A and B are shown apart, each in its own frame.
Chain A
């Protein structure tokens, strides 16, 4: 069965410092990985997905199949980055849908 692990429940970083939120997964097939973010009092929203290889709001994430990781990184943290971050793995089921399995999330706090 697939599993997503986010080892840090809480992470505090000073403004301007680099940020790295860790995500490890276990899945025997070819995974598709996502990062979702939830800002205070807002809904869960997609931040980025590995296949798009985009940088969103300065964040990047590289899929490392050897280490089964998909860590989220940003070189210089900003106060507006404070939020809850969820790593998610998508698998294509026999029914043609993509079912998301989420990690438990990391609450990132940027210290001014």
Chain B
């Protein structure tokens, strides 16, 4: 286990298309987080899972965004009807107690 992994690393899509990202956390980490980072900004919290339960969602997460974590292992983040404003780096992090370990991110570009 070499840490949190995310796929794909890069995604280019056309406006209006749907995209899905995957995050594989560190084994045995029960907490999983999604963040979004735009140019010149720090990461911003999107949503949080404890095991398979999605316990918190940011107001940044519009209705076009949905996240799942079936069986409490990997997680997916889907964006429907993408908009140019969705272009960003999407980061996943996992933790067991408190320290969050980040993945390399998925860079999304919406044309």
Interface of A toward B, CB cutoff 8 Å: 4, 9, 32, 36, 43-46, 49, 86, 88, 90, 93, 95-105
CB-CB nearest in chain A for B56: A95
A101 to B45, CA, bound (A): 7
Known: A100-B45, A101-B45. A44 touches B50 (CB 8 A): no
B residues near A93, Cβ cutoff 8 Å: 56
CA distance in complex: A42, B101 (Å):
13
Hey, which chain A residues are within 8 Å of B70, CB to CB?
Answer: none
Q: Is B62 an interface residue (CB 8 A)?
A: no
Residues in B neighbouring A96, C-beta threshold 8 A: 50, 55
Q: A45-B102, A86-B42, A100-B43 are in contact. Are A95 and B91 (CB under 8 A)?
A: no
Beyond contacts A102-B42, A103-B42: 18 other A-B pairs, Cβ-Cβ < 8 A, are: A43-B4, A43-B105, A46-B99, A86-B42, A86-B43, A88-B42, A90-B98, A95-B48, A95-B50, A97-B56, A98-B95, A98-B98, A100-B35, A100-B43, A100-B100, A101-B45, A104-B41, A105-B42
In the bound assembly, the distance between CA atoms of A24 and B100 in angstroms comes to: 21
Contacts A/B (CB < 8 Å), 8 sampled: A43-B104, A44-B91, A93-B56, A97-B33, A98-B95, A100-B100, A104-B41, A105-B42
Chain A contact residues: helix, strand, loop or mixed: strand
Asked whether any CB of chain A lies closer than 8 Å to the CB of B40, the reply is yes
CA distance A103 to B42 in the complex (A): 6
Task: Give bound CA distance, A44 to B48, whole Å.
Answer: 18
Verify B43–A43 contact, CB threshold 8 A.
Answer: no
Q: Does B28 contact A (CB under 8 A)?
A: no
Return the contact of A97 from the options B40, B41, B55 (Cβ within 8 A). Answer: B55
Q: A96-B50, A99-B48 are in contact. Are A104 and B42 (CB under 8 A)?
A: yes
Alpha-carbon gap, A45 to B4, bound state (A): 11
Counting CB contacts under 8 A, is B31 at the interface? yes
Is B56 in contact with A99, judged by CB distance below 8 angstroms?
A: yes
Q: Decide if A49 touches B56 in the complex (CB within 8 Å).
A: no
Does B103 belong to the interface (CB within 8 Å)?
yes
Query: What residues of chain A lie closer than 8 Å to B56, measured between beta carbons?
Result: 93, 95, 97, 99
